[in-house]
Amino acid sequence: MNIFVCVKQVPDTETKITPTSDGSYIETSSIKWIMNPYDEFAVEQALLMKAAKPEAIVTVVRVGSTKDAEALRTAMAMGADEAILIDGPDHLDSYMTAKAIKGAIEKSGKTADLILTGKQAIDSDSLQVPQLLAQMLNMPSVSVVVGFENNGGTLTLKREVEGGALEIYEVKAPALVACNKGLNTPRYASLPGIMKAKKKPLTTYSLADVGVSDDDKRLKYSAFKLPPEKPPGKKFDAMDEANQAKVVSDVVNLLRTEAKVI
Amino acid sequence: MSNILVFTETTGTKVKSVTLEILGRLAGQNIEVATVGELSSEATAELAKYGAQKIHCLKGAGLENYSPEGYAKVLKDFISTQNYDYVFAGSTSTGKDLFPRLAGMFQAGMASEVINFTMDGGAFAGTRPLFAGKCLAKVEITGPKPHFVTVRPNALGLTDSPTAGAGTKVDVAADAGAIRALVKEIIKGASEKLDLTEANIIVSGGRSLKSAENFKILDDLANVIGATVGASRAAVDSGFAPHAMQVGQTGKTVAPTLYIACGISGAIQHLAGMRTSKVIVAINTDPDAPIFTRADYGIVGDLFKIVPIMTEEFKKLLS
C-alpha cells in the first residue's frame, strides 16, 4: 500500500509579513519556516494507517525551494519512509503545484492508494491543490476532514461544513483526503526519529522532470501590500465597577449612532 | 462585456447572500446563474432583481446531496455547452470544494476567495488576502477560459441600486454520472445560526473565558443581537470550544459587520483572521492587549462583568 502525503513549508503563524518594496512578493529572508499546520494532521493520519498496516510505504511530497527541506525531514522524523522534493519556487500557483505533484507521483513508479493533504496551506490560502490534484489523477476527494475510519479499504470520512455540520462520506480507496484540525493529534518527532530521518531517501526532481513548464501558469500575482491600517479607536476604562454600566451603555449607543451596525 | 455564469446555492427558499453581492458587482456584464436543483419563486425574483438574465436549474438523479464529483460533472457538462468567459461562486464550504475540481476539468485558472474585483473592459482583476489577511495582493487569471473565481461572503457588500435582468428560468437535464465519494449522512451542527464565515455579527471568546461552560454568557449576548459565537485558538486549544468555532489563521477568516472580542488578547494569527471586520469591539482587562490596536471601541474591563451588562443594554436598545 502506497500513501502519499503532500506537505508545504510556510511562514510560522506568528510571522509578521512584509511585502517586498516592488510588491512582487513578501520578504522571505528572515522568516521562520514551519510545516503547514494542516499538513501535520495529514502526516499523522498516514502514520496511523501505517501502524495498522506496517507494509504501507508513506512518501511525503513537497514542492518548494531546496534551500531548506525541513518540512520533509520533519515528516520523516515523525515516521514517514521517504520523501520527494520538487525543486521550484515556494509560491507556485495551485495549478502548477498540483500538476507537479501529479508528475512526481507518476515518476515515483508507485500507484497511490491514498493521498493525504492538509485542507489548505496557510500562506496562499487558496484551498485548491487537493481538489485539483484529485481531479488530475481522476480520484475522488473529500476535504476539510475531521473524522477518518478505514474498513478494509472503504473509508468513512467526516467533512466539516458550515455551522459545524458534518457530511459523512463513504469512499473506496484510492482517494484523496484533505485533513482539518481536530482529525488527530500529530506526534512530535523523537530524537531517534530525527537521527533516522537523516538516512531516509530523499529524491529531488526539477519542475521539468515532472512535466511542469511556464505554460502551466494560471495566476499572475502583483501589488503585494499590507492591508490598510485602521485609525485608532476609542478606549474606555471600566475596571472600576462604578463606571461599568455607563461605559457599556455609551459603547452600545455608539454602535447604533456612530458606527451604525446595530 | 464578458459572458459570466454565477453558481448559486440556496438556504431554504433564499439564495445565499454572497450570490447577490457578486451579481451586484457584475452589473454591466452579461450575467447568467446556475444552480443544482430547483429554485423558489422568491429566489428567482431576487436573482432577477440583481441582474440575472437566465437562470439554469441543473436537475437529475444523484444530486440530492452535494458531492464534489457529481456537482462538478453536471456543471462541467453544462458549461461546456455555453460560452462563458468567467464562472463565479461564493467561497462557501461548497464553493471552496467544488470550484478547484471544476476549474481542473477545464485546465483553467482559478482565483480563490477574492474580497474585491473589477471587470474593466470585461477582464477580471481581483484583490485577495494571503497569509490569512496579513497582506493583500492583486490577482489576474491567465490560460484557457472560462476562468474561475470564488468570492468571500460579506466582503463586497450588497449594491444599493441593482440593475435588473430578465431572470428567465430554464431547467437543464443533468447526469451526475458515477459518484465515488458519496454522502451517506448529514449531521446538523449544534447551532442553527449562520456560519462564522457568513455571519453579520460575531461574539468571540478567548482563554479568559476559563471554561466551556462560561461561553454561555457569550451565547446569551449572541442570542440578543443575532450573532454567531466564535473563539480564539487559545480557547480552542484549552478545550473550551470546538475547532469549528476558531477564528484566525488556523481557523476561519471572518468579515462580519460587528466583531465583539471578549477576553481575547489579539495574537497576530487571530488578528489576521478578523481584521477585515467592519467594526471591532474589544473587552479585555489588559489595557495593553494588542486587540485594542485594532478595536474601534475598546473596553478595559472584566468580561464577566461587562458582557452581562452589555447583553442587558442591547436588550433595551433592541426592544
The reply to whether A145 and A234 lie within a common domain is no
The reply to whether A142 and A23 lie within a common domain is yes
Residue B230 identity (one-letter amino acid): G
Name the residue among B66, B135, B281 with its Cβ closest to that of A225.
B135
What is the average pLDDT score of chain A?
95
* B298 part of contact set with chain A, CB < 8 Å: yes
For residue A115, the model assigns a pLDDT of: 98
DSSP conformational letter for A82: E
A224 occurs within a structural domain: no
How many residues does this entry show for chain A?
Answer: 262
A33, A127, A137, A250: best to mutate for the B interface, most B CBs within 10 A: A127
The reply to whether A174 and A262 lie within a common domain is no
Mean pLDDT, residues A156-165 taken together:
91
- Return the CATH number at A98: 3.40.50.620
For residue A237, the model assigns a pLDDT of: 96
The reply to whether B10 and B145 lie within a common domain is yes
The reply to whether B43 and B127 lie within a common domain is yes
Q: Phi-psi region for residue B35, left (φ > 0), alpha (ψ -120 to 50) or beta?
A: beta
Cβ contacts of A84 within 8 Å, gap of 6 or more: A59, A60, A61, A62, A104, A108, A202, A203, A204, A205
Check CB contact under 8 Å for B243 and A180: yes
B65, B283, B309, B315: best to mutate for the A interface, most A CBs within 10 A: B309
DSSP conformational letter for A164: G
C-alpha cell at B113: 476567495
B186 occurs within a structural domain: no
The reply to whether B55 and B151 lie within a common domain is yes
Check CB contact under 8 Å for A162 and B92: yes
For residue A261, the model assigns a pLDDT of: 93
Helix/strand/coil (H, E, C) string of chain B? CCEEEEECCEECCEECHHHHHHHHHCCCCEEEEEEECCCCHHHHHHHHHCCCCEEEEEECCCCCCCCHHHHHHHHHHHHHCCCCCEEEEECCHHHHHHHHHHHHHCCCCEEEEECEEECHHHCCEEEEEEHHHCEEEEEEECCCCCEEEEECCCCCCCCCCCCCCCCEEEEEECCCCCCCCEEEEEECCCCCCCCCCCCCEEEEECHHHCCCHHHHHHHHHHHHHCCEEEECHHHHHCCCCCHHHEECCCCECCCCCEEEEECCCCCHHHHHHHCCCCEEEEEECCCCCHHHHCCCEEEECCHHHHHHHHHHHHHHHHC
Chain A contact set for B92 (CB, 8 A): 162
A223 occurs within a structural domain: no
Name the residue among B141, B185, B189 with its Cβ closest to that of A168.
B185
Chain B contact set for A17 (CB, 8 A): 131, 134-135
CA distance B12 to B187: 17
What is the average pLDDT score of chain B?
96
A192 occurs within a structural domain: yes
A237 occurs within a structural domain: yes
The reply to whether B252 and B132 lie within a common domain is no
The reply to whether A249 and A132 lie within a common domain is no
Q: Which of B49, B93, B47, B95 is nearest to B75 (CA)?
A: B95
Please give the angle made by the CA atoms of B107, B118 and B273, to the nearest 5 degrees. 80
Structural domain including B16 reads 3-173
The reply to whether A151 and A202 lie within a common domain is yes
The reply to whether B95 and B218 lie within a common domain is no
Mean pLDDT, residues A174-200 taken together:
96
Q: Reply yes or no on whether the pLDDT at B191 is more than 70.
A: no
Decide: B96 and B195 in contact? Cβ < 8 Å: no
B282 occurs within a structural domain: yes
Name the residue among B93, B137, B269 with its Cβ closest to that of A221.
B137
The total of structural domains in chain B comes to 2
B180 occurs within a structural domain: no
- Return the CATH number at B77: 3.40.50.620
- Return the CATH number at B310: 3.40.50.1220
Q: Which of A58, A183, A179 is nearest to A112 (CA)?
A: A58
A222 occurs within a structural domain: no
Distance of CA A12 to the CA centre of its chain: 12
Structural domain including A192 reads 2-216
Mean pLDDT, residues B182-207 taken together:
90
For residue A66, the model assigns a pLDDT of: 77
Cβ contacts of A228 within 8 Å, gap of 6 or more: none
The reply to whether A180 and A209 lie within a common domain is yes
CA distance B102 to B108: 9
Please give the angle made by the CA atoms of B305, B310 and B312, to the nearest 5 degrees. 105
C-alpha cell at B260: 465583539
Confidence of residue A90 (pLDDT cuts 50, 70, 90): confident
3-state DSSP call for residue A115? strand
Nearest-CA residue of chain B relative to A26? B135
Residue B15 identity (one-letter amino acid): V
Q: Phi-psi region for residue A223, left (φ > 0), alpha (ψ -120 to 50) or beta?
A: left
Mean pLDDT, residues A177-205 taken together:
96
The total of structural domains in chain A comes to 2
Check CB contact under 8 Å for B137 and A127: no
The reply to whether B168 and B210 lie within a common domain is no
CA distance B218 to B94: 29
Count CA atoms closer than 13 A to A23's CA, side-chain side.
12
Instruction: Give the position of cell 470546538.
Output: B242
* B277 part of contact set with chain A, CB < 8 Å: no
- Sign of the CA dihedral running A164, A165, A168, A173: negative
**Residues A15-41 pLDDT 10s:** 999 999 999 999 998 898 999 999 999
Give chain A's radius of gyration (CA, Å).
22
Task: Specify the pairing of strand B54-59 against strand B30-36.
Answer: parallel
Chain A contact set for B242 (CB, 8 A): 164, 182
Last residue within a domain, chosen from B153, B173, B193: B173
For residue A164, the model assigns a pLDDT of: 80
Give chain B's radius of gyration (CA, Å).
21
Q: Reply yes or no on whether the pLDDT at B227 is more than 80.
A: yes
B287 occurs within a structural domain: yes
Interface predicted TM-score (ipTM):
0.94
* B184 part of contact set with chain A, CB < 8 Å: yes
* B239 part of contact set with chain A, CB < 8 Å: no
The reply to whether A180 and A106 lie within a common domain is yes
Least confident among A53-67, A93-107, B89-103: A53-67
Check CB contact under 8 Å for B297 and A234: yes
B18, B94, B112, B221: best to mutate for the A interface, most A CBs within 10 A: B112
Q: Which of B91, B289, B179 is nearest to A142 (CA)?
A: B179
List, in sequence order, every residue forming a beta bridge with B299; answer none if it has no partner: A236, B283
3-state DSSP call for residue A242? helix
**Residues B122-176 pLDDT 10s:** 999 999 999 989 999 999 999 999 999 999 999 999 999 999 999 999 999 999 9
The reply to whether A176 and A237 lie within a common domain is no
For residue B194, the model assigns a pLDDT of: 85
